[in-house]
Amino acid sequence: MSVVDSPLPDSSSIDVTVAIPTYNGGDRIPKVLDRLRSQVTDSSLKWEVIVVDNNSSDNTADVVKTYQESWSGSELRYCFEPKQGLAYARQCAVENARGTFVGFLDDDTLPAPDWVAASYAFGQEYPQAGAFGGQVHGEFEAPPPENFERIESFFAIKKRGSKPNRYEPEKLSLPAGAGLVVRRQAWLDSVPAQLVRTGRGGNDFEISLHLHRKGWEIWYCPTMHIYHQIPPQRLERESLLKLIRTAGLCIYQLRVVGVTNWQKPIIAVKIMGGNLRRIVLHLIKYRGKVKSDLIAECEMTFFISSLISPFYSLKASLDKAWSS
């Protein structure tokens, strides 16, 4: 049961809710709140901010309380979600939001000064969009590895040009969760309260896939900009491989969202066949250099993890059945 510091009043007067799920983000959340406090919006735009404390053990609650004492222009609310996992934190945000639109920011992503205004304007202009995301830029505390652009999408870095365009959910071409904006009612009507992926790996895409299955379009908005803060430790080899392995292992689970049971074996075969081909081609291209080229090793890790993702999903299902 989530705990909110204020009751849920009538939502008709709120246009946008900005939701920030965080776990032990007491030292990161101030930068995000400072950016939100300085947003440039028209006086007619009504919006709020909800910080969802996902069972933190640090001073996150105290930090938010301090900001609440001097907050102005919008409303800053605090919500405690004891169930660990990003999916639970996001669900808590949506259930307690008062806005027509809910925009998600991570505690390490900083919005441009007009992000809230741009989000609302795009949602109004594209009523068929159940969810949309903008440009996500990487801000690195240390230089990334050579050829990093080949794997930058694993860090939610997205740039799709200067014109709005539709994503292609069938190809798992979808916006990142950081900076994702959804129609609250579309989420409540389309996204199950219990998602398969409860952590960061795959949860972003699963949300958009459920919306897509219910007939909503997923769009890219070029005027929305956020900046992902990336510390040096996230670019170290083991951290990179762990991130990419997690992304690969959820491929099968994402591909089967909303499909019938008879389609699942066909999808599994296609995933395994496609990735087996990629592995062979990758080995031919890099020969014995896969281990000495970090980016090539990351790509190979993704192909192998995707290849075994149907078996990983089966094991997870069996473990769940045995534990219930």
**Sequence ranges of the domains in the chain:** 3-235, 238-323
pLDDT in tens, 35-84: 999 999 998 999 999 999 999 999 999 999 999 999 988 999 999 999 99
**Strand positions, DSSP E, 119-162:** 129-140
Q: What is the pTM of this model?
A: 0.91
Q: Give the chain's residues under pLDDT 70.
A: 1-4, 6-12, 197-202, 324
Residues in CB range of 118: below 8 A, 6 or more apart: 112, 134, 221, 223, 224, 225
pLDDT computed for residue 316 by the predictor: 80
User: Nearest to residue 240, comparing CAs of 299, 283, 280, 307?
Assistant: 299
pLDDT computed for residue 11 by the predictor: 47
Q: Hey, which CATH number is domain 3-235, 3.40.50.300, 3.90.550.10, 3.40.50.150, 3.40.50.620?
A: 3.90.550.10
pLDDT computed for residue 10 by the predictor: 52
pLDDT computed for residue 81 by the predictor: 96
pLDDT computed for residue 199 by the predictor: 59
Cα separation of 32 and 228, whole Å?
11
> Tokens in use for 222?
């070029």
pLDDT computed for residue 3 by the predictor: 63
Cα separation of 233 and 142, whole Å?
9
